[in-house]
Amino acid sequence: MWAFPVLASFTLTCSWARELKRWGKTALIAVTVDVPDREPVYVAHYRNVPVLSSAAEAAGLIRSLADPRGYEIMVPRRIAPSEICRVRVLPRAIGWRYYPGARGRPMRLCDCPVCLPRSEVKARRYRDAVRSRLAREAGKK
């Protein structure tokens, strides 16, 4: 089970929602659970290897970061029903798309199916822009 600490910013707390929706999950819910402070959990940025720590240390680490986007806490056990504090449906579009900091970065000049995905928001427009830029680059040589 993945867990994300409840931060002061709702968008940061639920930043994974938009990424999960890219993979076909249409309706998402947020479940707030109460995990004891001394509970052993894993904490990491999604690109890094998880590190074992207590739940309080993991939440403190994420809260202390200037940019906590992409961090997660993993609870390596089942959550008991008595630990569930709140369940709510998430709004349609919150958080980041692709990865934190993707907005405003230059497009990749690759026309493979992995770099030019289909069935995503503005995917065709992105594919056309990359292909026209590749054609311009090829014409300069």
DSSP H helices in the chain? 10-13, 16-22, 55-64, 123-140
What's the confidence (pLDDT) of residue 20?
A: 65
What's the confidence (pLDDT) of residue 1?
A: 47
- Kindly give the parts of the chain with pLDDT less than 70: 1-26, 92-108, 111, 116-118, 120, 141
- Tens digits of residue pLDDT in 98-138: 566 666 666 667 767 777 666 767 778 878 888 888 888 87
Rounded distance between C-alpha atoms, residue 24 and residue 119, angstroms: 10
What's the confidence (pLDDT) of residue 133?
A: 84
| pTM of the full structure | 0.60
Alpha-carbon separation of residue 10 from 14, 16, 21, 53, 98 (angstroms): 6, 11, 17, 24, 19
What's the confidence (pLDDT) of residue 39?
A: 93
Residue 123 is given by DSSP the state H
